[in-house]
Structure formats: structure tokens, C-alpha cells
Structure 1
Amino acid sequence: MPTPTEARLDALARELKRAGISYQTLTPMADTGLAHDHVWIHREGDDWVARLPKQSQMNLPPEENLAYQSACYERSSPGGHTPRLYDVLPPSDQLPRGGLLVEAIRGRLAQLPEDLPAIAEALASLHRQPLPSEQAPLLAPTDPWQAMVSEVHQQAQWLADAQLSSKVTQRIKQELDLLPPRLSDVTPTLISFDTHPGNFLIRDDGRAVLVDLEKCRYGLPGIDLAHTSLYTSTTWDISSQAVLTLEEVIHFYRRWQAAMSETPNTDTLVACRRATWLWSLTWCAKWRSQYLNAQDAQQRGEDWSAELTDPAVIDHVRDRVEHYLSMPIIDHVHSELQCLQASL
């Protein structure tokens, strides 16, 4: 699978030198995602990883994107289950979007369902952290449920341009109508908002580490639980695909509850699961509409241009998008939500 280009590595080397950061060698890592290139920085002592943005999934310009991602790593690291942030390379002519230098995590990819208990502990370490007095620059809506519903409905506008069958479009709209207008329990915590299993590495000691932190905010922890265990998440990553049983999902939720001092009620957890699923479906509709649009990656925040990413990754994303937007899979997740409401 292609890796960051030689020109990209040369640019990183020059920026590291300019910042006075010593290293031994740079090893490009496989291109497996839509938002970043990754380079392993071999150093004496602890190795680092350079995260070099291709775009901002938060639709932020380069400097704001770096500030936001920096805050994600700084706010989450006290929990002990995320990489430490070491330094930031500002945007430059060499690296127009700059880069983050974070702790290199040695470990294997998470496997489901066996690693779900460790992932539940990692999420609890994030969600248990006290809210800071100053929450900016991370998103911190007054009503996190209303903010989530609003974001889902905003993305749902792309359904009109996604060229889906009328049956699928109508069904997704029916699911949107099932989102409750209000929840009784909307206590916010620090959440990742991007906890699909492919974003976790498992250390030799069994500890799960959430390595990809770009979308953190102060919101409802049920969103993270859903994003970890929904069908649309557990079957996303090629190397860790799994279809969880209802019993495995329930055990995962209960393991997380046991690690928390207080937890939301069942209605809130299931509502968050539905909303997260619909966020994923509407994101798929958005990607389906936009992924071939060529844009200037240096001037735009969010950019799904196919030329920014390895074609094999694009093919994989296209396959998953078509799968998740199919009627049988929509029916499957809907049925699971009904069963979870009655069992959790």
C-alpha cells in the first residue's frame, strides 16, 4: 500500500531540522485513512509519530486544525489511554497543513470481541476526566444532545445529492424521525467522537490505547460507546472486522458502566446509539456525493478528493459506504437497536 511520498518525507525532515528536533531515521507508515499521513520517527529513547494532515474532518483551516488536534491530545492524555503530544510543526511552505508529533505506540490492532473489555476501560478513562473550567477550543455545546441531532440533520441534507434509491432515502428519513427531541440525561464528558475499533492499539500488557484523536469534544459518552460497537464501526476496518452479537454489545456497555462512577440511563444510551448510527449513514451519503470532487487541499478545510488518498483506501471506503447504505444493513441495525432497548 502506498505511503507518504518522498517529497512529503523530505518536507518533514526539513521542518524537524528547523524545529531543532533530532532523530535517527524516518519510516513512512501505510496510508490507511482519509485524514492524515503518518511517519514513524526513530529517536534515541522514545520514538515519535508525525501526524501530517491531508485535510480537516472538522472543516478547519490549517492553524485552527492543529490547535484543535493539540487540545484533543492534551485533554485526553491524563487518562493514560492515549498517546502523549510532544510538539507541533506549524503550517509552512514545506508542510502547508503542519503536523503533530505524538508518542509512538507499540502494539497490535484491536480484535473484537476479545478486546472489548480493554476498550471499555480506555473509554471510561476518557469519560471519567473532570470537565475543565476552560473548554475551548474543543466543541462544548450547551445541550450536547441537541447539538448531535443538529449535526446529524445537517449531514442528512446530503441525502438529496447521494443518488440513493428512493426506498433507502425514505427509510433513513424515517429513522431520523425516531430521534427524541430531548433527553432527560445530557451530562457531558470528554468524548473522542471517533472510536471505531481500528483506532485502538493493544499494548503487550493488554492496555487499549486510542491513537487517533481529531474530533474530541464535550458531549455524551454514549456516542463513543456506540461508535465502538455499532455494525457500521466494527465492520469498517479491514484488519479488525467483526459482527458483534447482542450479548457482546451488552457486555461491553456493562463493562464500561462498571468502570464509571455515574452513567447515563438506558434511554439516553440507546438514543445516542441511534444518533451515532445516523451520523454514520449521513456521513456516508455526504462522502458518496463528494469524494470525486477535486478541491484545493491547501485552501480548504475538509477535502474528500480521491487524489489525496491511496486508491485502495478509496475503494475500501466506497465498498463500506455502499454496504451501510443498503436496505438489509439498515434493517439489521434497526433491529439491534430495538433489542438493545429491551435488554440493556
Structure 2
Amino acid sequence: MVDEPSLSRATLASILGVAVERLPEAPLAGRVHDHWRLQPKPGGPALMVRIPKLSHLGLSPRAALIYEAQAFRRGEPSGSTPRLHGLLRVGRRLPWGGLVVDAIDGRPPHLPDDLPALGRALAGVHGLPVPVPARRRPLLDPMDPVGYLLQVARGQLDPIRDTLTASVRRLLETEMAAAAATADQSRPAPRLTLADTHPGNFRIRLDGTAVMLDVERPVYDSPAVDLAHASLPTSLNWDPAVTGTAQRSDIIGFHNAWTTAMPRPVVDTVRPHILAYRRLIWLRTTTWACAWAARTDVAAALASSKPDVADQARRLARFADPAMMEAAREQWSGPKAFTAEELVP
């Protein structure tokens, strides 16, 4: 749900040392960040001031700020993420600090037309050189990424397992067991991945290229993480600003656009893991939605007078619906499942 802004316009202007008129009346307020568009000079390029409010990774404010700054710095050479221009220190007025990055002018994606642009943008990130292990810190670099994703999903599921219907609990446990069967395989070749790549996190610029906006929790893992998150049903239907829909052929086209833009040796390392990661990322997302439903008065949220609250409640309730779960499973299990070669030829 969307919270109130974390600080006033006047306070932020004072911290930045700019006239208050250079900031809008209010930010674009979100659950994790407030976003203030800053116009430093009349007619000049605009910047975006990101004011964090929490850490998805459970980090301290200073550690979270360092992590997010490194995320932007490492993604910048790809051209697929905003440039970082500066940091605002953690302090009394900014408990989580802040970041100043490029303001990206563009529109939300329209499906399926813009999916190939998303694939090419991700290829720009996944094609970046990978540092030696000692230089990957502070970003997450799990030696057992499958086990790590399973741990996240289990951590969300276990506290609310007894609140689920028998059919939902059985379905999730079946998928958890199938995912765990892949945990003993060798580690997928790690690349820089952005890990939150649903289509609503991108903007399409006038030239048709895509830029990812929120770069706050990347991890060194298989690119299959991002390819799954960008194209699963739970992601395609997540952001109401994203219009249109995507069919099977469109999801294949998205993957093929990524494949065409990537060096063949990298493609060959991703193909063996592409279906397993669709299951893993679906489990991560769906257990999160189930946990939300278990700790929320869903009826009250659906009836909320705040449009953003009611809309998010509708989407999350749908993710926890057994029918949608079954539709998602068909992508990697059963006669309608994708093949790895189909997605990553």
C-alpha cells in the first residue's frame, strides 16, 4: 500500500540547497521510496530524488543506501538503468538517506508490443562484465541461489501455512518440492541481475528503448531470474499502468529478443535453468501474495475508498487464487509447458 510522503517539500529543498520551486508540490509516493522530480536549472535536464523508507533486504539505513548506490553504479554502463548523480546522507531529517538519479521521461510499457524492448534492456545489464567474487560485495552473491530463493519463499509460506486452504497449501508444497529437487545442481553462471523486473518497473522512451526505474535490490545470479520476473502472469498483471496483455507467442518473442542481444556463450549457460527459475520466481511472488492475504483484512482492503489500496488488494487476491496458480504452473509443467529451447533457442 502507498504511504504518506516521508518528508516535506521545504525540508527536502533545504537539504538539497535549492529553491523550493524546483520541486513539485508533492512526491510520487510509494511503499518503499518517495520520488521527487527535481529541476535544478530552468530548461535543463531533470533529476529524480529517491527517498527510501525501508529495506527489502532487512539492511540498516546506511547499509541499504550503500547497496542501492552500488546497484545504480553497476547498472549504469548498460544504458538500461538511470545514472546516479549523488547521495544524501542518512541523518535526522533523512533516516534512510537519499539518492539523486536521472529522471527518465517515457511511458509505461504496452503489452505485447514493448516486451522485446524490455528483453533488450535486460540483455544490456546481463551482458556487463562480472567482477571477481571479492569485488561483487555488497551486492548479494549467493553460492546456492536456488537454495536462497527457496529460503525466501519458505520464509514467507511457513508462518501462514495453516491459514491456507488445503488445495492452495497442497499446490504450493508440490511446487516447493519440485523446486527443491533442482537445488543440488551446479550453480548457474552468475551475472548482474536486477531482481524486480516486472514490466511496470520500466519506462519506454521516445526512441523505443526501455529503462528500468527502481534498481534497489540486484543480485548476482542467472539472468533467468529477470527473464522470469518480467514475463510471468503475476508480473504482467501487476502494475495497472501497464496496458495490454501477452500471449504465449509474445512471451517467446520477449525471450528471443533477449537471446538475440546476448553473446551465445551466456545464452548457453542460461538455457538449462530457464524453466526452473520460472517456478522459483513464481513461488517467491505467490508466497508473498499469500502472506499478504493472511495478515490483511482482504474484504476491507477491497472495499477501501482509496483506489490504490483497493486496486492492489484485487491484484494480490488474484495471485493467491488457485485458478491463477494453476494457469501459471502450466508454463513449466504439463502438456502446455514451454520448453527451454523454445524460450532460449
Q: Compute the TM-score of the two structures, normalised by the length of structure 1.
A: 0.87
User: By how many angstroms is 1:325 displaced?
Assistant: 0.7
User: By how many angstroms is 1:63 displaced?
Assistant: 0.9
Aligned residues: 323
Structure 2 stretches of 5 or more lacking a match?
Answer: none
1:40 aligns with 2:41: no
Q: Secondary structure at the match of 1:49?
A: strand
User: By how many angstroms is 1:319 displaced?
Assistant: 1.7
User: By how many angstroms is 1:132 displaced?
Assistant: 1.7
Cross-structure match for 2:116: 117
Q: Which amino acid aligns with 1:14?
A: S
Cross-structure match for 1:287: 292
Structure 1 residues 267, 90: CA separation in 2 closer, same or farther (over 3 Å shift)? same
Q: Secondary structure at the match of 1:194?
A: coil
Q: Secondary structure at the match of 2:111?
A: coil
Matches of 2:225 and 2:212, distance apart in 1: 15
Alignment of 1:1-344 (within 5 A): 5=5, 7-17=7-17, 25-27=22-24, 28-31=26-29, 33-44=30-41, 45-133=44-132, 134-160=135-161, 163-179=163-179, 180-184=182-186, 186-261=188-263, 262-263=266-267, 264-290=269-295, 311-338=306-333, 339-341=337-339, 343-344=342-343
Matches of 1:6 and 1:112, distance apart in 2: 33
User: By how many angstroms is 1:2 displaced?
Assistant: 8.6
User: By how many angstroms is 1:10 displaced?
Assistant: 2.2
Structure 1 stretches of 5 or more lacking a match?
Answer: 293-305
Q: Which has the higher contact order (CA 8 A, sep 6+)?
A: 1
Q: Secondary structure at the match of 2:56?
A: coil
State the identity as a percent. 33
Cα offsets for 1:278-300 (capped at 9, x unmatched)? 000111123334568xxxxxxxx
Q: Secondary structure at the match of 2:188?
A: coil
Q: Compute the TM-score of the two structures, normalised by the length of structure 2.
A: 0.87
User: By how many angstroms is 1:336 displaced?
Assistant: 2.1
| Kept after mapping to 2: 8 A contact 1:234/1:242 | no
Matches of 2:97 and 2:229, distance apart in 1: 28
Q: Which amino acid aligns with 1:146?
A: G
Matches of 2:203 and 2:63, distance apart in 1: 27
User: By how many angstroms is 1:147 displaced?
Assistant: 2.2
User: By how many angstroms is 1:43 displaced?
Assistant: 1.5
Matches of 2:6 and 2:215, distance apart in 1: 26
Cα offsets for 1:108-128 (capped at 9, x unmatched)? 111111011111110000001
| Kept after mapping to 1: 8 A contact 2:199/2:239 | yes
Q: Which amino acid aligns with 2:173?
A: K
Structure 1 residues 215, 311: CA separation in 2 closer, same or farther (over 3 Å shift)? farther
Runs of 4+ in 1 over 6 A off after TM superposition: none
Q: Secondary structure at the match of 1:232?
A: helix
Matches of 1:320 and 1:100, distance apart in 2: 30
Cα offsets for 1:297-341 (capped at 9, x unmatched)? xxxxxxxxx9xxx95433332222210111110110011223213
Q: Which amino acid aligns with 1:159?
A: I
| Kept after mapping to 2: 8 A contact 1:3/1:29 | no
Matches of 1:265 and 1:39, distance apart in 2: 37
